[in-house]
Structure 1
Amino acid sequence: MRKLFTILALGCALGMVACGGGGKTVTRIDEKSTTDLSGKWNDTDSRLVAEEMITSCLHSAKIERVIGEMGRTPTIVIGKIRNKSHEHISVETFVKDMERTLLNSEAVDFVANSAERAELRNEVADQQGNATEETAKDLHQETGADWMLTGTINTIVDQEGGQSVIFYQVDLELTDLQSHKKLWMGDKKIKKFVSQDSVKL
Structure 2
Amino acid sequence: MKKFAIVFLLCLIGIWGCSNTKNVSRVDSDQDINLSGRWNDSDSQLVSDEMISDALSRNWLTNYTEEHGRKPTIIVGTVKNKTSEHISAETFIKDMEREMLNSNKARIVQAGQAREELRKERDDQQDYASLSTMKKWGLERGADFILQGTINSITDSNKKQKLISYQVDLELTDLENNEKVWIGTKKIRKVVK
Normalising by the residue count of structure 1, what TM-score does the alignment of the two structures yield? 0.86
AA of the residue aligned to 2:55: C
**Partner Cα distance (1:62, 1:147) in 2:** 11
Unpaired segments ≥5 residues, structure 1: 1-8, 196-201
Q: Structure 1 stretches (4+) deviating beyond 3 angstroms?
A: 19-23
Q: 1:113-162: CA deviations, max 9, x gaps?
A: 03221111111111111100000000111110000000000001101221
2:183 corresponds to 1:185: yes
Q: 1:161-196: CA deviations, max 9, x gaps?
A: 21100000000000000010000000000000000x
Q: Which residue of 1 aligns with 2:77?
A: 79
Q: Which residue of 1 aligns with 2:56?
A: 58
How many residues get paired?
184
CA contact (8 A) 2:51 2:186 kept: yes
CA contact (8 A) 1:58 1:64 kept: no
- Of 135, 141, 146, the match for 1:137: 135
Q: Which residue of 2 aligns with 1:121?
A: 119
Q: 1:23-51: CA deviations, max 9, x gaps?
A: 31111101011001000000000011111
- Of 166, 169, 181, the match for 2:167: 169
Q: Which residue of 2 aligns with 1:154?
A: 152
- Of 88, 91, 94, the match for 1:90: 88
Normalising by the residue count of structure 2, what TM-score does the alignment of the two structures yield? 0.89
Unpaired segments ≥5 residues, structure 2: 1-6
Q: Cα RMSD over matched residues?
A: 2.0
Displacement after TM superposition at 1:21 (Å): 6.5
CA contact (8 A) 2:77 2:148 kept: yes
**Partner Cα distance (1:136, 1:69) in 2:** 35
Q: Percent identity between the aligned chains?
A: 47
2:35 corresponds to 1:41: no
